[in-house]
Structures are given as C-alpha cells and as structure tokens.
Chain A
Amino acid sequence: MLPFIGMMLLTLIIGTIAAAVVDEGRSRRMAALFTGLTMIIAFGILVYSLITGSVNVHEDYIYYMVQFAVDFNFQLNIISFSLLLMATIVSFITALSGNTEHEREKTSSVLILLFELSAVGLFASANLIMFFLFWDVGVVALFFMLYLLGSANRRHAAMKFIVYEILASMLLLFAIMLLYFYTPVHSFDINTIIQNSPLIPTSTQWLVFFLLAGAFLINMPVFPAHLWLPDAHTEASTQGSMLLSGILTKFGGYGMILTFLLVPSGYTFSGFLGLLAGFSAFYAAFALMTQHDIKRIIAYTTIVEMSIILLGIASQNVYGTTGATYAMLAHGFGIAMLFLAAGSIGYMFSDRDFRALRGIIKSSVSTGYTMLIGIFATTGVPLTAAFIGDVLIFTGVLKAFSVYATIPLFSLLLAGAYLYYVINKSVLSTKDVTQNVEYIAREQKLGYSMLMFFIFFFGVLPFILLNFFSV
C-alpha cells in the first residue's frame, strides 16, 4: 500500500513552498494544483479502502521527540477519514474559487496550503503531540488569514479569535500532559492511551475530560464560548470563512469524539453535555434571528449545527457518533457553499445586509440557487448529506436519552424559518430594485457546482462511507 498520508503532507509542504516562491499571479494556480493533488490522494485512500473493505491506514516516520518515543506516525479510521476527505475537498474549492477578488493571492494561497497541511495532519495524527502540533499550526494559519485578509475591523476579530484559541490550546496541552503522566505506560500514542485509560483514576479522568471538553467546546464552538465565531466570520475574507466554519470547527468535533475514547469516565457527564448542546442550539437559533448581515447569519447556523453535532457525540452510541461524523462532513460542504455564495454577494453588491439586497436570483442566477440549495443543505432536506447526519444523530439521541432530547431539532426549524425569510427578502424577489448583472468567474461556478455535487453525492449514496462504520 502507498504511503498516502506521507504523500499528502509532502504534497502540501511542496505546495506551500511553491506558492510562496512563485510570483503573485501564479500562486493561486499553485494552490489549486497542490490542494487538488491532495484531494486526489484522499480519493485514492477511498478507492483503496473500497477495494480492501476497510479504512485502515498506519504510517510511521522518523522520530520527532526521541525521549518520549514520539514519531511522526499517522493512522486513519473511518471517522477521521471522513473528515479528512471533506477537508481536502473544501480546501481545494477554497483555493480554486474563494478569491475571485484576486486580493493578496499569494498570502491567501500560502495560508490555505498551510492550513490544509494542519488539517490533514490533525485528522491523521496517531499521537497527541502530533495532534497538538497540527492543531496549533492550523490556528496560527487561520489567525494570519483573519489578520491579514478581510474587512476593515479584521484585526480586532483576529485577536479575539486567537485569544479564545490560545485558551483552548492551553487546556488541550495541559490535558495531554496529564494523560501522559497518569497513563501507566507513559505514552502519547492515542491507541495506547485508549487501551490503558481505564487504569487512570476516575477523578483524574474527570479533570482531563473537563480540560479536553473545554478546549474542544471553545473550538466547535458551543455556548458560552461561541463569541469569537460570528465576529471572525463577519470580518474574514470568503476563503477565511470557508476554512474557519468548514474545517476548523471540525477539529473541535473530532476532538470531542476522541475525548470520549481517551477518557471513558467522561461518559458520566454526557447528559450535561447533551443539555448544554440543546441549550446552545436554541440560544444560537434565537440569536440568529436578530442578525442582518448574511455572513453573520450563516455563522450562527454553524453554532446551531455544531451544537446538534455535540448532542450526537454526547449520546455516545454508534448512531450518535456516526451521525455526528456524517453531519460534520455534510456541514463542511454546506457551510462552505453558503459562505462562497455570501462572499460573492458581498463582492457583487458591496453590501451583505439582507434588508438592502433585492433580486439576487435575477442578477446572478447561480449565486441565488446556490444560496437556496445551501439552505436546503443546512436544514437537512433529504437527499442532502445533512439529512443522513440528522437522522442518525437523533436516532442516537433517542436511544441514549429520552424523547425530550429530540426537542433541539426544533432549533433547526427556527433557523430554517429565518433563513427562508432572509432568502425571500434578498434572493427571491425583484421588488423595485434593478441591479447590474455581475460577471461570475468560471472557477466560482465550478466551486458552486462541485460543492453541490458533493452535498448530493454524500446525501444520495451515504452507504459508500457508512458501510465502513459498521465494520
């Protein structure tokens, strides 16, 4: 078998360097090329897994910290692979079609490649040091993405982002250290910790659980640590938003799934976590209904969706976990599509307040329909991937908790109702305002159609990935 992860990381490292050394005009092409290659390798893993019947990748490279026996070692299971596949696809589309303004292309290309490097490394990491390393690379890459690219007030948003994320990193590092010292065999290896974690004293497990959950809940984000997300999205560039909501929030979701494996005693608190998730979903759905900036509205839907995903993870059974993974995959595509369209709207009309926008479907047909399908994908209409996620999550919730735990599904109703209101005012109306028909770049249309394709591909053919879960 081919060293897939190594190939991906090498491609991305070469790509980052290549995008940094070529001149401004070509750097975007470099980014698209190398992210595309990475995506092809990820599909290679899928094909390989379909042939062999299971996702099972283990790769081991040179020592990184000899004293602690920490290697550059990688592994993939179906959960991390689903997210990895989504991350490579979304990164490719971000690099290809996110920046139609041609604004600081070189900076954005380098940062996208760097961020994808971190995403691939994080999802594939087999030990916690690698996990932490790639986590911080991703956070730093996105910090610069926010700080350097975006609208006028971006620096404040970027600082807010980094403060929250540094807090998360700190909690994460502390938890990793505790795990290392309290595991009887003193290891950073995820599999070894999972095997030995029942031997850790329960109180220590609880402490580690709180630290890890704190870190990942900030990252997901879930109430009360969600405040960085709307600001970051309002100020970020289109590409920044796509990566932020599409991929970075999934770090937290993946971490949360991992947390329950690393510290099984955390199961005691799954009920509280579910309560928090349910509250957060409603809180975000109501807060969403007072927003007017399209990007801010979409940002709040991220919080709603991630809360529901947290609910799925908290239910701690095969349905909940599978559903959460699938919902994260779906959410990555859906939210990237919405942000791509919202960015295009902001660029075309120099305004993102939906009350001021009229008749987008007339001015730009593709953007209008993309928004519409994005909303279908967000509210979980069947045949979009989000439906599969929602169905599985709530099956899991019903099995783990009670009937009342399905009430958070109504937060999707609130969010959906407001989203339909927004789209009626801005997209599907031609009341008394005539706007110029703007030219939409070909690569942007390609981005729309690719994301749409994947939303329906994973919605109509869910068994491709879901069959691996039952193995």
Chain B
Amino acid sequence: MLAILVIVPLIMAAFAAILLRGSPNTVKYLALLASLVSLAIAIYIFVYPSGAQSFQWFNVGGLAFSIGTATQPINMLLLMLVSVITPLVFLYSIGFMDVPSEQPRFYFEMCVFAASMMLFAISSNLITTFIAWEMLGITSYMLIGFWYRKEKAPDAARKAITTILIGDIAMLIGILMIGASSGTFNFATIFTLPITSYLDVALILILIGAFTKSAQFPFHEWLADAMEGPTPVSAFLHSSTMVKAGVFLIAVMLPIYNSAGLLNIMLIIGIVSALIGVSNALTERHIKKILAYSTIEDIGLMFIALGLNAPYAALMLFFVQTFYKALLFMNAGAIMKANDEREDIYKIYGSAINGSIASTMLVGVLSIAAIFPLSGFFGKVSVEVASQNVVVYALILLMELGTSIYIFRWMFVTMRKSFDKSAPVEINYRSIPRSMIAPMYILGVLTIVASAAFPYVLRYIELGAGVVNYTQITVTDAAVSMVLSIFGIIIAYRVYKQGHRLHLESTSKALFNIVYNSQLVNRAYTVITELTARVANTVGYTDYAFDRSTYALSQGATSSGGIIKGIVNGQTNIYVLGFVLGLILLIFSFIL
C-alpha cells in the first residue's frame, strides 16, 4: 500500500469543495470526513509501515526525478501529528467559520494545505519535499490573506510569500546543486555523500529555506503578521504544519549537517530567534501575536536542540508543542469571537466566564510555562538538559522565565472582568458553539498525556549512529526549571492580575525598542525594500533612456534622410553644381 494514499481523501475533498460550492454545509462536513479518513489511513500506515516506495516522475538525461515516500518512524511522527490535528482544526472551523459564502474557498485551501503537509511528512527525497514545501507556501499565502477585505490581511500575506520565496529559491538551488552533482535526490543516498565545500554551500542554502519557513531570524516577522488569517489557520500553521516543516527537514537531514559541521549556525540562529520571540511576546498586545512570538521561541528552541546535535530533545519539543499551541490558538479564537473580534489583550475581558475555555486554557498555559506533569515541561527541560554549554543553559533558563511571565500575562489580562456591564461579553462566551469547545477538550487531554505517549513514539525513532540521547532528566534540572516557572507566574500575577501595564515605552524608549524589536526588524525590511526599489528605479530610468536614445537614433536617421532628400531633388542645376564642385575638388587633389 502506497503511503501517498493518505493525501487522496483531502485532495478529493478539495476538488469537491469547488464543485459543491453552492452548498457550504456539505463542504464542511465533507472536509471533516475526508480528514478522518486520512487519519484512519495514517493509523494504518503507522501500524503497518510500507517502507520506502517511489515511482519515477520523469527522467531527463539519466537524472531521475521521483515521487518517493518513506515510512520511517520520524516520518510517522509528523504524519500522525498532522493527521490528528487536521480533523480537530476542521471541527473547530465548523463553529468558527460562520460566513457560509466563504466556506468552500476556506475548505479547499485548508484541504490542500493539510495534504501538502502530509506529503511533506512522508517524503523520501528532496524533489517530493520541495513540491510539498512550495504547495505549503502557496496555500499559506492564500490562507493568510483569506480575509482580503481586511486592511492588513493582503499585506501580511504578501510579506509571508515574499519571505518564503527567498527561502524557496535558495532551497531550490541547494537541492539542484545536490542533485546535479550526486545524481540523486534521495535522503538515504545524500547521507553518504562526501563532505565538500560545494555540499556545504548547498546545505546552507537549504538551511536558509528552512529558516524562512520556520520563521527564524532574520526572516521571522512574517509569522507575527500572519495572524491576519482566520484563527483555525493560525492553530494549524503554528502547531503541526508550515513552521514545523523547516525543523522537520533539518531534523531528517541532521546527520549530514552534523558531519558538515554546520550545527553552530542553527544554534546561534536558534538562540537569537528564541530571544526575539520571548522579548516581543513580553511586550506585544495583540492576543494572537503573543502566541506567534511564542511559536518563534519554541521553534528557536528546537533549532537550539538541533544545533546541539540532540534531535531527541528537538523532536520531544516538536511533538508536545503541537498540542499546546493548537489548544492556545483555539482558545484565543474563541475569546476573540466572544469579544467582537477585538485583538488587543487590554480590550479583551472575561476569558474565565466560560468554564470550558478557562480550564483548557489553564492546561495549555501551564504546559507552555513548563509546569511539571504537563507535556511542555518534558519538551523544554529536555532541551535544557541537552545544552552542555553553560551560556546556552543560562539563556534557555532566561527564556523559560520570560515564557512563564508572558503567557500568564496573556492569561491574567484576558481574564479580567469587564467594567462595561452592558457589553454582551457574557452571553457571547456562553454561546460559543460546541464544535469549537470539543477540540479544545481533546487537545487538553492530548496535552496532558502527550509526554507520557512520547517515549513510545520515540522508541521507534533511530537517528543513526553518533546521536546522543540526552533525554535523561534529573531532579535538579526539573527543580531549577520549576522554580523559575513558578517565579515567573508570581511576577505575572503581581504585575498583571488587575490588568496593569508596565509603561515601558514612556519610561525608557531605548529599552522598549530593544525589547519590542519587531519594529526594528520591520524597519530593516523596509530599508531593504527601498534599496531594491532604488536599484529598480535606476534600472527603469536607464531602460527609459535607452529607449529614448534608440528613438533619437531613428529620428537622426530620418533627418539625415531629409538632408539628402533636399539635395537629391531632381533639379538638374543642383546636380550640375555638384558635378562641377566635385570635379574642382578632384583636380585640386591631383594638383596638391
């Protein structure tokens, strides 16, 4: 049985969404059904792995381009994550997307998005990976800009696609470099290639691609802006799809990165990105952007773990982050829905009114703050443990403190009671549809049990020789981590419980700019864009001048034709005059 079958139901649902665009209700249940069928197929593949299979797509000059699937445990891990999250997100969307006319488009794009991610998960060669990778990019562009009527959504989508395009092109060059030199695109064969500086360049180019997709410094700003998309998209994009793609690709290719000695790049970029994520999440006020910066931090931590050559730790965080991040986004979506789509956390009230939201949110928040029995604890502490370097360890602890402050700020501020009694917030909270509540409960349970389930998943994963398994967590590590997290919670409680703000911007502008550095990054993007525009203007002007000069040339030809026309006018006396003048000239030239 071909593993590729797993995407077939979703592709069929996508096409059905176009054909059945007249009846949106059918489309949404059909999409849910398709995702469940895909889940069933994924479970079947998980239980009975079919091994590597590939068929040739086309072959030119002996270089075969194939569509290949692999059912290695690491592939199964991502496939299971995607196929579990997909039905939950679709279920959530049934309640969330209450605009019937937009539903067929939404489910078409979501189905293609999920299918590309599943294809990515099971791909066994770089060509298949790149196809899935690009399809992810395109569908995410369409999903982020889904509400194109909103003022900022098209620009956010454009920012995403432009950033991703940089990575895509870098990655395509990297892939082709590997393919052209070694004649193969298969992961298995690439691991055996000898390390040359040529291969290093190719690997770095692929790494740039991974950084753009996974929103790492300096390509991270698109992810925060991507919050303009519908919340189910954010829940999907941040948990199991898209941003995980970069981490996953590098995790799969880690042995070759290790032997090429490129791990330090990941480590440094991971630390920078994670610090940027934490500091922005501490100062940001947009309810979803706080979570987005938190994702940048999580992905940064994963890259730190990969940079430390500790793929088990990275995959641990990779696994558990899926559930709590999807859960928190679903909570955020429900909270925004009850608060008339307001986005500023200081204008959002009463997230504790609905018990279901409040309880699941607490699970998610405790998990992200790495409190002991919850899965986030195991994820983050394994990264901590993996860092043998004191500086890295200290930085991770600092991030952890920051995490627990910002996430409890997020919770405490949104939990305040509204001062405006006339606002229908309470009624709104009570009327959150059940289809939105149900996935939250499922994800809450998964968040709790994920850490327990992980060792069973991990047991399957063999990442090759030389990989150290650093997942032994000692009591000391756990205690340090817990103390810091609780300390963070206390700070957040004291500062933000009443919805207070730290007026950092008015007290210290410089500090504020350093902490809330997304403005700086955006300004840097603007500078780059303007420089490009300036070059373009110069070239455009040159082109115009070039055009004018050819025109002038033709004008010159025409006017010189006019001069000759004036002489050659058919009058005999002019010709005779010319003849005589020429004769005189000739005679003189002979005499002299």
Q: A163's contact among B180, B537, B554, by CB below 8 Å, is which? A: B554
Q: Are B58 and A394 in contact (CB under 8 A)?
A: no
Q: Are A399 and B180 in contact (CB under 8 A)?
A: yes
Q: Are A470 and B179 in contact (CB under 8 A)?
A: no
Cα of A417 to Cα of B554 in the assembled complex, Å: 36
Q: Are A410 and B169 in contact (CB under 8 A)?
A: yes
A100: chain B residues within 8 A (beta carbon) = none
Complex: chain A residue closest to B201, CB-CB: A403
Question: What's the least CB distance linking A378 to chain B, in Å?
Answer: 12
Q: Are B169 and A319 in contact (CB under 8 A)?
A: no
B57: chain A residues within 8 A (beta carbon) = 462-463
Q: Are B135 and A227 in contact (CB under 8 A)?
A: no
Q: Are B61 and A322 in contact (CB under 8 A)?
A: yes
Could you give, for residues 457-471 of chain A, a 1 whenever the CB lies within 8 Å of some chain B CB and a 0 otherwise? 000001100110110
Residue among B130, B181, B538, B539 with the highest chain A CB neighbour number at 10 A: B539
Q: Are B148 and A462 in contact (CB under 8 A)?
A: no
Q: Are A322 and B158 in contact (CB under 8 A)?
A: no
Report if A376-B60 is in contact (Cβ < 8 Å); known contacts: A414-B532, A416-B165, A430-B149.
Answer: no
Question: What's the least CB distance linking B534 to chain A, in Å?
Answer: 10
Q: Taking the complex as formed, is A190 at the interface, i.e. its CB lies under 8 A from any CB of chain B?
A: no
Q: Taking the complex as formed, is A49 at the interface, i.e. its CB lies under 8 A from any CB of chain B?
A: no
Question: What's the least CB distance linking A404 to chain B, in Å?
Answer: 11
Q: A469's contact among B60, B173, B180, B541, by CB below 8 Å, is which? A: B60
Q: Are A286 and B540 in contact (CB under 8 A)?
A: yes
Residues 345-377 (chain A) with a chain B CB within 8 angstroms? 361, 376
Q: Taking the complex as formed, is A413 at the interface, i.e. its CB lies under 8 A from any CB of chain B?
A: yes
Cα of A462 to Cα of B149 in the assembled complex, Å: 37
Cα of A381 to Cα of B164 in the assembled complex, Å: 12
Report if A391-B176 is in contact (Cβ < 8 Å); known contacts: A382-B131, A424-B157.
Answer: yes
Q: Are B172 and A409 in contact (CB under 8 A)?
A: yes
Q: Taking the complex as formed, is B408 at the interface, i.e. its CB lies under 8 A from any CB of chain A?
A: no
Question: What's the least CB distance linking B112 to chain A, in Å?
Answer: 10
Report if A381-B138 is in contact (Cβ < 8 Å); known contacts: A286-B535, A286-B540, A361-B148.
Answer: yes
Cα of A431 to Cα of B152 in the assembled complex, Å: 11
Q: Are A289 and B540 in contact (CB under 8 A)?
A: yes
B181: chain A residues within 8 A (beta carbon) = 398
Could you give, for residues 40-63 of chain B, a 1 whenever the CB lies within 8 Å of some chain A CB and a 0 otherwise? 000000000000000011111101
Q: Are A394 and B173 in contact (CB under 8 A)?
A: yes
Report if A287-B201 is in contact (Cβ < 8 Å); known contacts: A322-B60, A462-B58.
Answer: no
B535: chain A residues within 8 A (beta carbon) = 286
Q: Taking the complex as formed, is B568 at the interface, i.e. its CB lies under 8 A from any CB of chain A?
A: no
Q: Are B134 and A382 in contact (CB under 8 A)?
A: yes
Residue among A227, A388, A462, A469 with the highest chain B CB neighbour number at 10 A: A227
Report if A406-B58 is in contact (Cβ < 8 Å); known contacts: A290-B540, A382-B130, A431-B151.
Answer: no
Residues 302-324 (chain A) with a chain B CB within 8 angstroms? 317-319, 322-323
Q: Taking the complex as formed, is A383 at the interface, i.e. its CB lies under 8 A from any CB of chain B?
A: yes
B541: chain A residues within 8 A (beta carbon) = 290
Q: B539's contact among A286, A381, A398, A399, by CB below 8 Å, is which? A: A286
Residues 421-471 (chain A) with a chain B CB within 8 angstroms? 421, 424, 428-431, 462-463, 466-467, 469-470
Cα of A469 to Cα of B535 in the assembled complex, Å: 41
Question: What's the least CB distance linking A289 to chain B, in Å?
Answer: 4
Cα of A416 to Cα of B172 in the assembled complex, Å: 15
Residue among A224, A227, A361, A382 with the highest chain B CB neighbour number at 10 A: A382
Complex: chain B residue closest to A406, CB-CB: B173
A394: chain B residues within 8 A (beta carbon) = 172-173, 176
Complex: chain B residue closest to A163, CB-CB: B554
Q: A467's contact among B58, B540, B554, by CB below 8 Å, is which? A: B58
B131: chain A residues within 8 A (beta carbon) = 382-383
Q: Are B58 and A395 in contact (CB under 8 A)?
A: no
Cα of A261 to Cα of B429 in the assembled complex, Å: 74
Could you give, for residues 141-169 of chain B, a 1 whenever the CB lies within 8 Å of some chain A CB and a 0 otherwise? 10001001101001101100110011001
Cα of A381 to Cα of B169 in the assembled complex, Å: 11
Residues 226-263 (chain A) with a chain B CB within 8 angstroms? 227, 231
Complex: chain B residue closest to A225, CB-CB: B550
Q: Are A421 and B158 in contact (CB under 8 A)?
A: yes
A390: chain B residues within 8 A (beta carbon) = 172
B58: chain A residues within 8 A (beta carbon) = 388, 462-463, 466-467
B151: chain A residues within 8 A (beta carbon) = 431
B550: chain A residues within 8 A (beta carbon) = 227
Q: Are A430 and B169 in contact (CB under 8 A)?
A: no
Q: Taking the complex as formed, is A97 at the interface, i.e. its CB lies under 8 A from any CB of chain B?
A: no
Q: Taking the complex as formed, is B536 at the interface, i.e. its CB lies under 8 A from any CB of chain A?
A: yes
Q: Are B60 and A429 in contact (CB under 8 A)?
A: no
Q: Are B158 and A319 in contact (CB under 8 A)?
A: no
Residues 527-555 (chain B) with a chain A CB within 8 angstroms? 532-533, 535-543, 546-547, 550, 554
Report if A470-B161 is in contact (Cβ < 8 Å); known contacts: A394-B176, A428-B145, A431-B151.
Answer: no
Question: What's the least CB distance linking A309 to chain B, in Å?
Answer: 16
Q: Are A287 and B540 in contact (CB under 8 A)?
A: yes
Report if A287-B543 is in contact (Cβ < 8 Å); known contacts: A391-B172, A398-B176.
Answer: yes
Report if A395-B145 is in contact (Cβ < 8 Å); known contacts: A409-B169, A463-B58.
Answer: no
Residues 108-128 (chain A) with a chain B CB within 8 angstroms? none
Q: A381's contact among B56, B134, B543, by CB below 8 Å, is which? A: B134
Question: What's the least CB distance linking B108 to chain A, in Å?
Answer: 11
Cα of A463 to Cα of B130 in the assembled complex, Å: 18
Q: Taking the complex as formed, is B198 at the interface, i.e. its CB lies under 8 A from any CB of chain A?
A: yes
Complex: chain B residue closest to A373, CB-CB: B138
Q: Are B63 and A424 in contact (CB under 8 A)?
A: no
A392: chain B residues within 8 A (beta carbon) = 60
Cα of A286 to Cα of B538 in the assembled complex, Å: 9
Q: Taking the complex as formed, is A291 at the interface, i.e. its CB lies under 8 A from any CB of chain B?
A: yes
Q: Taking the complex as formed, is A379 at the interface, i.e. its CB lies under 8 A from any CB of chain B?
A: yes
Q: Taking the complex as formed, is B222 at the interface, i.e. its CB lies under 8 A from any CB of chain A?
A: no
B554: chain A residues within 8 A (beta carbon) = 163
Q: Are A429 and B154 in contact (CB under 8 A)?
A: yes
Complex: chain B residue closest to A429, CB-CB: B154
Q: Taking the complex as formed, is B486 at the interface, i.e. its CB lies under 8 A from any CB of chain A?
A: no
Cα of A361 to Cα of B105 in the assembled complex, Å: 13
B165: chain A residues within 8 A (beta carbon) = 379, 413, 416-417
Cα of A332 to Cα of B169 in the assembled complex, Å: 22
Q: Are A395 and B63 in contact (CB under 8 A)?
A: yes
Cα of A196 to Cα of B202 in the assembled complex, Å: 42
Q: Are B61 and A318 in contact (CB under 8 A)?
A: yes
B303: chain A residues within 8 A (beta carbon) = none
Q: Taking the complex as formed, is B177 at the interface, i.e. its CB lies under 8 A from any CB of chain A?
A: yes
Question: What's the least CB distance linking B184 to chain A, in Å?
Answer: 13
Q: Taking the complex as formed, is B65 at the interface, i.e. its CB lies under 8 A from any CB of chain A?
A: yes
Q: Are B148 and A430 in contact (CB under 8 A)?
A: yes
Q: Are B135 and A383 in contact (CB under 8 A)?
A: yes
Cα of A391 to Cα of B175 in the assembled complex, Å: 10
**Interchain Cβ contacts under 8 Å between A and B, 19 examples:** A227-B547, A286-B538, A287-B543, A289-B536, A291-B540, A319-B60, A322-B60, A361-B148, A388-B58, A392-B60, A394-B176, A398-B176, A406-B173, A406-B176, A414-B532, A420-B161, A424-B157, A429-B154, A462-B57
- Top-10 shortest CB links A-B: A290-B540, A289-B536, A286-B539, A318-B61, A398-B180, A382-B131, A424-B154, A428-B148, A463-B58, A287-B543
Residues of A within 8 A of B (CB): 163, 224, 227, 231, 283, 286-291, 317-319, 322-323, 361, 376, 379, 381-383, 387-388, 390-392, 394-395, 398-399, 403, 406, 409-410, 412-414, 416-417, 420-421, 424, 428-431, 462-463, 466-467, 469-470
Residues of B within 8 A of A (CB): 56-61, 63, 65, 130-131, 134-135, 138, 141, 145, 148-149, 151, 154-155, 157-158, 161-162, 165-166, 169, 172-173, 176-177, 179-181, 198, 201, 532-533, 535-543, 546-547, 550, 554
Q: What would 20 more interface pairs be, CB under 8 Å, given A391-B172, A424-B154, A424-B158?
A: A283-B539, A286-B540, A287-B543, A288-B536, A289-B533, A318-B60, A319-B60, A322-B61, A323-B60, A382-B131, A395-B179, A403-B198, A409-B172, A424-B145, A424-B155, A428-B148, A428-B157, A429-B154, A467-B58, A470-B61
